[in-house]
Structure 1
């Protein structure tokens, strides 16, 4: 398998991994938010009863968790493709 073929073959896999990472990060964030605030639901930007600080902190935590999970999943997928094909999909 050539480098180009490995790259093309990885695209649908990477897409599915990205969707999975989004789902996992959402679940992780809910659990983290429960630990931090003791509430089931994190604030949304349009929640009238929540302050700026709480909304921005929740968004920052959610973004950090998403980025970490996505990077972990992307890296693991790239390593798996490299092991299977000998080519790095990046």
Structure 2
């Protein structure tokens, strides 16, 4: 196994946790702007409409995907700078 791949394992785990925290915070702020509410709806929230639930799910998914890709790419670039090879 290449050194860059081994070096990336713990970095990848830490970045995964970090990206989840960042994405959650970004989504909460986005939801406040979009709907003016502090709490986003859950799929089983009886008092929310289908529109609210599906909109929240779509926005949350998009935010999580973009943040995860950004953080993963940044981590891979950092490992390449440290080891000289891409961790993939």
- Of 45, 50, 54 in structure 2, the residue corresponding to residue 47 of structure 1 is 45
TM-score, scaled relative to structure 1: 0.94
Match in the other structure for 1:63 = 61
* Unaligned segments of structure 2, at least 5 residues: none
- Of 1, 4, 13 in structure 1, the residue corresponding to residue 2 of structure 2 is 4
TM-score, scaled relative to structure 2: 0.96
Measure how far apart 1:51 and its partner are: 1.2
> In structure 2, how many angstroms separate the alpha carbons of the residues matched to 1:18 and 1:11?
11
SS at match of 2:2: helix
Contact 2:32 2:38 in 1 (8 A): yes
SS at match of 2:39: coil
Measure how far apart 1:36 and its partner are: 0.4
Contact 2:7 2:79 in 1 (8 A): no
Measure how far apart 1:52 and its partner are: 1.2
Match in the other structure for 1:76 = 74
Match in the other structure for 1:31 = 29
* Unaligned segments of structure 1, at least 5 residues: none
